[in-house]
């Protein structure tokens, strides 16, 4: 509609015409009188088609008010905005870019009523405040939410509730150490989830519950040490999984069994400890030949260092040489030393090896107890082998 009225949109409008158009569009009188439909704020440039207010890179310390209320696209990136509150953006807004500002205060209700908002970019706001559960309430059209590089260390579990349209969620390069239970419950239309470059240490069971349309899950450059066999339950559409550059000594093959659509897997850059704890992962590779995978280089034990787990013989993984985690570990309260280099401490060779099983799934091929019969204990107990102990 507005494309036929470029001049009116670009310049302050005579009052009579302003009201005429308000009534033509059948908009409430109060709406027209309190907001400017067409006036472009100083320091902004406005375009008619689609209606756009472009105010980026102007050293603005606050959101210009009023913004043209019919503007569908509002560009405010690369400014010095520190505070945003309710009433600044109209319900016509479908694209709102606020990235690279200094937002440190979000007043309650800031996004209330933005039912047409499809894209919200709040990335690269390094002083970002703690997000409240209701911050994004009612954004039923939101397709793309950018919260990267916001120094976020914690998310409330209800933050994404009701965001049924969300397709892309950008949470990379923050400081998340855990994902609250049920965080993604309502996001059954999400296709891409970016969590790389955080400080995640563990993925408990059903971490991604609800994400039945998810196609790619990026978890590289975290500090993952433990992944539950049930961590990926429900990710039936996932085709791409990145877990490279973490601190994983093992990965239960069971967790990958839930990923029935998986095509690309990257596991490189982890301190794989190739003993019985990796046997279920080895087995998964053998029974799932169609998946394209990065190398899985063993970091230990010394005899297998540098070998690719995928092409080892099954007998290479008979022995249990590690004592990685107590079996009753509480995943939500884990605190691990951060990097692979400090993860293992080599202790003096001991004659007797303990066969411990950390894979909480149990009963599957990774279960040492089923591999190591008493005969093997006897044999191993006389071998002067290295034992590896975790520095927790
Ligand atoms: C913003 O501030 C910087 C530094 O004070 C200045 O160099 C730049 O010209 C300003 N930009 C605008 C658009 O005023
Ligand atoms: C979300 O996906 C469901 C199917 O799982 C579909 O019926 C629905 O229309 C989608 N919702 C939106 C808002 O895209
Ligand atoms: C691995 O992840 C760490 C952060 O955990 C990061 O600093 C480092 O650059 C990453 N390395 C590569 C090769 O991506
Ligand atoms: C696990 O640890 C968290 C935090 O440390 C605690 O709140 C929770 O109750 C624990 N769960 C169990 C089953 O012990």
Distance 331 CA to ligand 4 centre (A): 8
Q: Which residues contact 203 (CB under 8 A, 6 or more apart)?
A: 179, 219, 224, 226, 227, 228, 231, 232, 331
Q: How far is the CA of 146 from the centre of ligand 3 (A)?
A: 21
Q: Which of 44, 59, 64, 76 to mutate to test the pocket of ligand 1 (most atoms within 8 A of CB)?
A: 59
Q: Which atom of ligand 4 has the smallest separation from the CA of 330? A: 1
Closest ligand to the CA of 330: 4
Q: What is the DSSP letter of 31?
A: H
- Return the residue whose CA atom lies nearest to atom 14 of ligand 4: 330
Cβ(270) to ligand 3 under 6 A?
A: no
Helix, strand or coil, per DSSP, at residue 339: coil
Tell me which residue has its CA closest to atom 13 in ligand 4: 330
Atom of ligand 4 nearest to the CA of 333: 5
Nearest of 258, 262, 272, 257 to residue 293 by alpha carbon: 262
User: Residue 173 C-alpha to ligand 1 middle, in angstroms?
Assistant: 27
pLDDT tens-digit profile, the chain (392 residues): 333 333 333 333 333 333 334 333 434 333 344 445 668 998 999 999 899 999 999 999 999 999 998 999 999 999 999 999 999 999 999 999 999 999 999 999 999 999 999 999 999 999 999 999 999 999 999 999 999 999 999 999 999 999 999 999 999 999 999 999 999 999 999 999 999 999 999 999 999 999 999 999 999 999 999 999 999 999 999 999 999 999 999 999 889 999 999 999 999 999 999 988 898 999 999 999 889 999 999 998 888 899 999 998 888 888 887 545 444 444 443 333 222 332 332 322 222 222 222 222 233 333 333 333 333 333 333 333 333 333 33
Ligand 1 pocket: which residues have CB below 6 Å? 58-59
What pLDDT score does 322 carry? Answer: 56
Q: Residue of the nearest CA to atom 7 in ligand 1?
A: 59
Q: What are phi and psi of 318, to 5 degrees?
A: -70, -35
List residues near ligand 2 (CB under 6 A): 164-165, 188-189
pLDDT of residue 189: 97
**Nearest to residue 334, comparing CAs of 234, 259, 262, 227?**
227
221: Cβ below 6 Å to ligand 3?
A: yes
Q: Residue 300 in contact with residue 388, Cβ under 8 Å?
A: yes
pLDDT at res. 237: 97
């Amino acid at each position: 509609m507005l494309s036929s009225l470029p001049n009116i949109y670009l310049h302050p409008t005579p009052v009579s015409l302003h009201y005429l158009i308000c009534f033509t569009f059948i908009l409430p009188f109060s709406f027209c009188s309190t907001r400017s439909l067409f006036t472009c704020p100083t320091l902004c440039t406005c375009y008619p088609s689609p209606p756009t207010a472009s105010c980026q890179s102007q050293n603005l310390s606050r959101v210009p008010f009023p913004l043209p209320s019919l503007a569908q696209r509002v560009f405010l990136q690369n400014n010095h905005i520190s505070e945003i509150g309710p009433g600044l953006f109209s319900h016509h807004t479908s694209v709102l870019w606020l990235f690279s500002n200094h937002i440190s205060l979000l007043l309650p209700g800031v996004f209330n009523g933005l039912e047409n908002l499809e894209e919200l970019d709040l990335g690269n706001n390094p002083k970002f405040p703690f997000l409240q559960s209701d911050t994004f309430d009612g954004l039923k059209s939101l397709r793309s939410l950018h919260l990267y590089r916001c120094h976020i260390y914690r998310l409330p579990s209800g933050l994404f509730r009701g965001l049924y349209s969300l397709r892309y969620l950008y949470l990379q390069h923050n400081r998340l150490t855990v994902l609250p239970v049920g965080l993604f419950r309502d996001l059954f239309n999400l296709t891409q989830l970016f969590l790389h470059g955080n400080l995640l240490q563990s993925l408990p069971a059903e971490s991604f519950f609800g994400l039945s349309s998810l196609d790619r899950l990026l978890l590289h450059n975290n500090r993952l040490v433990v992944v539950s066999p049930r961590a990926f339950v429900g990710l039936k559409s996932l085709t791409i999984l990145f877990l490279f550059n973490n601190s994983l000594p093992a990965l239960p093959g069971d967790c990958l069994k839930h990923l029935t659509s998986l095509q690309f897997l990257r596991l490189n850059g982890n301190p794989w400890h190739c003993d019985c704890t990796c046997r279920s992962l080895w087995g998964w590779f053998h029974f799932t030949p169609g998946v394209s995978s990065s190398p899985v280089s063993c970091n230990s034990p010394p005899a297998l260092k540098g070998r690719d787990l995928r092409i080892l013989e099954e007998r290479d993984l008979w022995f249990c040489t590690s004592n990685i985690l107590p079996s009753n570990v509480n995943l939500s309260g884990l605190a691990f030393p951060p990097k692979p280099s400090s993860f293992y401490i080599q202790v003096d060779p001991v004659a007797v090896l303990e066969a411990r099983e950390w894979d909480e799934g149990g009963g599957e091929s990774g279960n040492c107890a089923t591999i190591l019969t008493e005969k093997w204990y006897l044999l191993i107990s006389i071998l002067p082998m290295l034992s590896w102990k975790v520095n927790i």
